[in-house]
Amino acid sequence: MSLRLGDLAPNFKAKTSQGEISFYDYLGDSWAVLFSHPADYTPVCTTELGKTASLKNEFDKRNVKVLALSVDSVESHKGWINDINETQNVEVNFPIIADENREIAEMYGMMHPNASETFTVRSLFIIDPDKKIKLMITYPASTGRNFQEILRVIDSLQLTANYSVATPADWKEGEDVVVVPAIKTEDIPAKFPKGHRVIKPYLRMTPQPNK
């Protein structure tokens, strides 16, 4: 069965470039980004994993643990990490899962046979501390991910998990947000004392509440 938003992320045990892990235990009370790569020693993936390593501080301050996955072996991963570190001027600081039998890839729907029979597509899952899937993005093998968008989405998910707001198109941290329709307009001042604007009865804006 295919996974959907709000589903419990499947738990698994796996060998990784940093030793064996049990997924839930590894996450603890953190958020997670779990993302797959078609294969080791591929050019676009090399740039992606380098970019991920360079953003360690950004993920850390959002309480996010990152895990990559490829269908190659741990030994292959370790050799590839040397290349990533050398060419991207980073130190890869997160586990790369060795999913040689493709069990995790199948569990998470990362295999798209019409795209490739043997390689995972570029799937990305954001998972909250309750182990629920909050976002899924799938890119083709030819297109590298936009990691600023991934950070932006994490900011939105963490904000909207704690306040009765939604984030509008192109929203970035610090900008005004939408008051959710469930809040009556007359109740907004008590919940959002920074002020609000009524553009339409269904479109009410307020400054970001946790800033």
Per-residue pLDDT tens digits of the chain, which is 211 residues long: 589 999 999 999 999 999 999 999 999 999 999 999 888 999 999 999 999 999 999 999 999 999 999 989 999 999 999 999 999 999 999 999 999 988 998 899 886 555 555 555 578 999 999 999 999 998 887 888 999 999 999 999 999 999 999 999 999 999 999 999 999 999 999 999 999 999 999 999 999 999 8
CB 185 within 8 A of CB 201: yes
Question: What is the model's pTM?
Answer: 0.91
Classify each residue of 132-154 as buried b or exposed e, where b means 16 or more C-beta atoms within 10 Å of its C-beta. ebbbbeebebeeebebeebbbbb
45 catalytic per annotation: yes
User: What is the spatial distance between Cα 37 and Cα 35, in angstroms, rounded to a whole number?
Assistant: 7
User: What is the spatial distance between Cα 24 and Cα 122, in angstroms, rounded to a whole number?
Assistant: 22
Q: How far apart are the first and last CA of the chain?
A: 40
Catalytic residue among 45, 69, 165, 188: 45
Residue-wise pLDDT for 21-46, tens only, equals: 999 999 999 999 999 988 899 999 99
Pairing relationship of beta strands 122-127 and 133-139 according to DSSP bridges: antiparallel
Q: Kindly report the length of the chain.
A: 211
Q: Which residue has the tokens 């900011």?
A: 155
User: What is the spatial distance between Cα 98 and Cα 15, in angstroms, rounded to a whole number?
Assistant: 6
